[in-house]
Amino acid sequence: MRTKQELYQAALRTVALRRQTARANAEDARAEAEAAIPALRHAEDEVRVRGIRCALAGAAGKDRTEAAAALSKARQELTALLAASGRPADALEPKFTCKLCQDTGSVQGHTCTCVHKLMQGLRREEIEALSSLSISSFDTMKLNYYPNTLDKELGESIRSYMGFTLQDLRSYATNFSPSTRKNLLLIGNAGLGKTHAALAIAGQVLEQGFDVIYVSCPDFFGKLESLHFSGLTSEEEILANTASYADLLILDDLGTENDSNFFITSFYSLLNNRIGAKLPTIITTNIVNGALFEKLYTEKISSRLASFEQIKFFGTDIRVLKASE
């Protein structure tokens, strides 16, 4: 899991490589064109010289009419030479990937949108390496896998309830803003779509340009613990801060981690940091017993989790249903 700064530097390296490649390709195209069109180099020199004269005239406050006309004529002659050889007017210009910043990564002193898109792509690749993000969306969550039978606890059919639940979660993702979104605790037995729904939210939020961290509890806290007891406390701090201050953090499978004093301390600190920073967190868990929560995670952690909006998933194991099809 890379920090936002690491993603930014990686994106800038990609942009720089794009610019270097575009300029190298343009030089190759120029060399090929000059070999095929003997008069081309002279025409290019004329455009260059006329351009300098026009700029000097303007800088000196002189009338640029004659110089501008000469420059225009030189450009027309260059374009005609290229056209005669079957080449477009911009055949000698670099073909930058981003037309906005011309692959510099910056527009008027601000980071270009192409850099942000690359960062989103890199984060998406990270999440896809850990999960089924690429196939997880609300459109792929089929309601027919949920029983169309009345549930006494709900007072309605499970399918109807889950339809409204998934609709609410889709709205959460569509209208996402770090400052306004709630913390969510997705609760239910295994195989009911909790992780799928969390990843569907992650996909939509990433598309909106926000930074999303998705981790499984055993992997994340296990890595923190390994760094801590290996003496790599600076790396531990970077990893913890990256999770603490992401626009959205998704902690998957709470309850499957290695129970230890280190985990309890780290989990409590992570929750405190995110609640203090007013940043939303989504947690999925198979633990449906509130008393068990307090027993496993202490009263302090349970009280913080109690502030999360609890969303219960009902039904039967969808993975079993799919396997029997």
Asked if residue 147 has pLDDT above 70, the reply is yes
Q: How far apart are CA 146 and CA 213, in angstroms?
A: 29
**Does the reported pTM lie above 0.85?**
no
pLDDT of residue 257: 85
Residue 164's Cβ-side half-sphere holds a number of Cα atoms within 13 Å equal to 8
> Cα separation of 31 and 37, whole Å?
10
What's the pLDDT at 64?
84
Please say whether the beta carbons of 212 and 206 come within 8 A.
yes
Highest mean pLDDT: which range of 55-64, 115-124, 160-169, 258-267: 160-169
Is the pLDDT at 263 greater than 80, yes or no? yes
pLDDT over 70 (residue 269): yes
Q: Residue 290 pLDDT more than 80?
A: no
Confidence (pLDDT) at 5: 86
d(CA 179, CA 163): 27
Q: Tell me the pLDDT tens digit for each residue of 2-30.
A: 888 889 999 999 999 999 999 999 999 98
Report the C-alpha gap between 144 and 106 in whole angstroms: 48
pLDDT of residue 133 exceeding 80, the answer is no
Q: What is the pLDDT of residue 283?
A: 96
How much of the chain, in percent, has pLDDT values that exceed 90? 52
Identify the residue with better confidence: 226 or 1.
Answer: 226
State yes or no: pLDDT of 134 exceeds 80. no
**If pLDDT is split at 50, 70 and 90, which confidence band does 127 have?**
confident
pLDDT band at 151 (very low <50, low <70, confident <90, very high): confident
Q: Is the pLDDT of residue 325 over 70?
A: no
Tell me the CA distances in angstroms from 321 to 135, 140, 151, 192, 314, one per residue in order: 18, 15, 19, 11, 14
Which amino acid, 241? Answer: N
pLDDT on residue 171: 95
Amino acid 135: pLDDT: 66
Q: What is the pLDDT of residue 309?
A: 94
pLDDT, tens digit (0-9, with 9 covering 90-100), for 71-89: 899 899 989 989 999 999 8
Q: CB of 139 within 8 A of CB of 173?
A: no
Question: Is it the case that residue 293 has pLDDT exceeding 90?
Answer: no
In the predicted model, is pLDDT for residue 302 greater than 90? no
Cα separation, 123 vs 129, in Å, equals 10
Question: How high is the pLDDT of residue 288?
Answer: 83
Lowest pLDDT segment from 6-15, 36-45, 98-107, 130-139: 130-139
Q: How confident is the model at residue 323 (pLDDT cuts 50, 70, 90)?
A: confident
Tokens of 50: 């006329």
The 10s digit of each residue's pLDDT in 153-171 is 888 999 999 999 999 999 9
In this prediction, residue 173 carries a pLDDT of 95
**Sole residue written with tokens 């003496």:** 231
